[in-house]
Amino acid sequence: MFKKLSMAAIAVALSATSSLAATEVTWWHAMGGELGKKLEEIAQKFNESQSDYKVVPVYKGSYPETLTAAIAAFRAGQQPAIVQVFEVGTGTMMAAKGAVYPVYKLMADEGEPFDTKTFLSPVTGYYSDTQGNILSLPFNSSTPIMYYNKDVFKKAGLDPEVAPKTWKEVEEFSRKIVSSGAAKCGLTSAWITWVQTENLSAVHDKPFGTLQNGFGGVKSEFSFNGPLQTKHWANLKKWQDEGLFKYGGPVGGDQAATMFYSQECAITMNSSAGRAGVINNAKTFTPGFAPLPYYDDEIKEPKNSIIGGATLWVLNGKEKATYKGVAKFFSYLSKPEVQADWHQFTGYLPITNAAYDLGQKQGYYAKNPGSDIAIKQITRGTPSENSKGVRFGNFTQVRTIVDEEFQALLANKKDAKQALDSAVQRGNALLREFEAANSN
């Protein structure tokens, strides 16, 4: 109850800084550290490129904090023009029709060129409504890939240039690494929910939920307690007991990166945006990059992986001049050179085909082996209903539940099937909650 008031107060304090000659466009984002600096640089370059509009980026903390702050600000009538919302919040934003100014509509209203086809199709697929309109501007999209320690591989008698392709190989390699004493653990992973559950399902063309993984409406139900997911979770548990796998913690699993950097674990799986961090932190060893492994007895041709990251949503209730500025800024952001710069600096995916082409022309991918693994993985094959993405309401909480059930599995409280069944059941209760809240 106090937080509502205090958040409103903060919102007022932060948005009271306007009134300059140029029309200000506030942009709330969740990019800390190096990424935040780069983002501010982009805004600054846009501001220098013209004099009518001034984009003011404001760092609002983590993704959930940014979303909550924006919602509280909207309720208090103090919302920013642009807010960066992570992919998990997409369901929430799409349901909030009155709060959102859809990007395709904004660009049309302001007469800015905006062609859906210029964007990478998996990216647009994830963020479009059922009619194929893009509701928010893709900004930073990533997909999980595998990182491995070439030096440890060598020490264990493995070929450092050959990454494990299948989960069976991951298991064999890990066992070799641990038994040879090359590293204390074979495998760890960031984002158990996103990487080892959502992406696992997509890559193997298995549904995560009904109604096209929730794209078909708010009546969907979860179905990620199938045989594939059960088998995989049971394997992770088995590997943990054997000492091959180490848990990296809930949500983003921050300790996975730590264990990989300290060479405690030889393999990790994380967002492609973690590439810059890996290169910076792998001072004493050579990192390798590879696509996510798959079960070759489940699927011969693995499907595309799904994206994470965030998009920029435009909020209603601002003046016309502000929206003009937003449209101009979005056009600037979609430029191939801006996109390519951001993509190459951060490891996020290039959002447009043109940015990818530009990178190829610059010879970036040839010079930086492994930097195009994410793009290739996300564009391979034809996306199916199961690999297009996931879209559910209350999904932040659902991810918390999946984390909790995974912890219960690792702590011997439940077996894989019980844990997944319970996650599905608890998740469905939240979906019904969301359906009820958004259908009246």
Partner 1 sequence: MDTKRTTFNNRLLPYLLLAPQLAITLVFFIWPAAQAVKSSFEREDPFGFSTVFVGLTHYRQLFADPNYLDALWRTAVFAVSVTVLSMMLGLAFAAAVDRLARSAKVYTTLLVWPYAVAPVVAGVLWWFLFNTSTGLLPFFLERLGIRWDHDLNGTHAMILIIIAAAWKQISYNFLFFLAGLQSVPQSLIEAAAIDGSGPVRRFFTISLPLLSPTTFFLFIINVNYTMFDTFPIVDATTGGGPAQATTTLVYKVYQDGYVGLNIGSSSAQSVLLMLIVMLLTFVQFRFVERRVQY
Smallest separation (angstroms) from partner 1 to the CB of 403: 7
The one segment of 249-257, 276-284, 320-328, 363-371 that binds partner 1 by CB under 8 A: 249-257
What whole-number distance in Å separates Cα of residue 169 and Cα of residue 306?
23
Rule CB under 8 A: which of 119-138 touch partner 1? Answer: none
Smallest separation (angstroms) from partner 1 to the CB of 430: 8
User: Can you tell me which of 121, 255, 331, 384 binds partner 1, judged by CB under 8 A?
Assistant: 255
List Cβ neighbours of 271 (8 Å cut-off, separation of 6 or more). 142, 143, 144, 145, 190, 191, 308, 309, 347
What whole-number distance in Å separates Cα of residue 152 and Cα of residue 84?
39
User: Can you tell me which of 27, 74, 233, 261 binds partner 1, judged by CB under 8 A?
Assistant: 74
Closer to partner 1 by CB, 75 or 165: give it. Answer: 75
The one segment of 16-24, 31-39, 227-235, 259-267 that binds partner 1 by CB under 8 A: 259-267
> Does 99 contact partner 1 by CB under 8 A?
yes
What whole-number distance in Å separates Cα of residue 229 and Cα of residue 246?
18
Question: What residues are paired with 29 via a beta bridge?
Answer: 59
Buried b (16+ CB within 10 A) or exposed e, 147-176: bbbbbbbebbebebeebbbebeebbebbbb
> Does 4 contact partner 1 by CB under 8 A?
yes
State the DSSP H helix or E strand holding residue 375, giving kind and residue range, or none if neither. helix 373-379
Smallest separation (angstroms) from partner 1 to the CB of 216: 20
Smallest separation (angstroms) from partner 1 to the CB of 436: 6
Closer to partner 1 by CB, 262 or 284: give it. Answer: 262
Binding mask 155-184 toward partner 1 (x if CB under 8 A, else -) reads ------------------------------
Amino acid (1-letter code) at residue 250: P
What whole-number distance in Å separates Cα of residue 14 and Cα of residue 42?
21
The C-alpha angle with vertex 396 and arms to 315 and 138, in degrees rounded to 5, equals 45
Q: What is the DSSP string of 362-374?
A: TTHHHHSTTTTHH
Rule CB under 8 A: which of 389-408 touch partner 1? Answer: 394, 396-397, 400, 403-405, 407-408
The one segment of 42-50, 153-161, 257-265, 327-335 that binds partner 1 by CB under 8 A: 257-265
What whole-number distance in Å separates Cα of residue 179 and Cα of residue 161?
20
User: Can you tell me which of 14, 251, 279, 299 binds partner 1, judged by CB under 8 A?
Assistant: 251
Smallest separation (angstroms) from partner 1 to the CB of 404: 4
Closer to partner 1 by CB, 192 or 333: give it. Answer: 192
Smallest separation (angstroms) from partner 1 to the CB of 171: 21
User: Can you tell me which of 112, 169, 264, 435 binds partner 1, judged by CB under 8 A?
Assistant: 264
Closer to partner 1 by CB, 25 or 259: give it. Answer: 259
User: Can you tell me which of 68, 210, 331, 360 binds partner 1, judged by CB under 8 A?
Assistant: 68
The C-alpha angle with vertex 296 and arms to 294 and 299, in degrees rounded to 5, equals 85
Smallest separation (angstroms) from partner 1 to the CB of 128: 21
The beta-strand segments (E) located in 248-320 are 265-271, 287-290, 308-314
Closer to partner 1 by CB, 116 or 284: give it. Answer: 284
Closer to partner 1 by CB, 46 or 247: give it. Answer: 247
Amino acid (1-letter code) at residue 207: P
Q: For residue 235, what are the CA distances in angstroms to 153, 303, 416?
A: 22, 21, 9
Smallest separation (angstroms) from partner 1 to the CB of 102: 15
> Does 437 contact partner 1 by CB under 8 A?
yes
The one segment of 88-96, 140-148, 158-166, 324-332 that binds partner 1 by CB under 8 A: 88-96
Structure tokens at 27: 């942009």
Q: What is the DSSP string of 239-270?
A: HHHHTSEEE--STT-HHHHHHHHTTSEEEEEE
Q: Are 255 and 248 in contact (CB under 8 A)?
A: yes
What whole-number distance in Å separates Cα of residue 118 and Cα of residue 133?
13
List Cβ neighbours of 432 (8 Å cut-off, separation of 6 or more). none
List Cβ neighbours of 360 (8 Å cut-off, separation of 6 or more). none
Binding site for partner 1 (CB under 8 A): 1-5, 64, 67-68, 71, 74-75, 92, 95-96, 98-99, 247, 249-251, 255, 258-259, 262, 264, 394, 396-397, 400, 403-405, 407-408, 410-411, 413, 430, 433, 436-438, 440
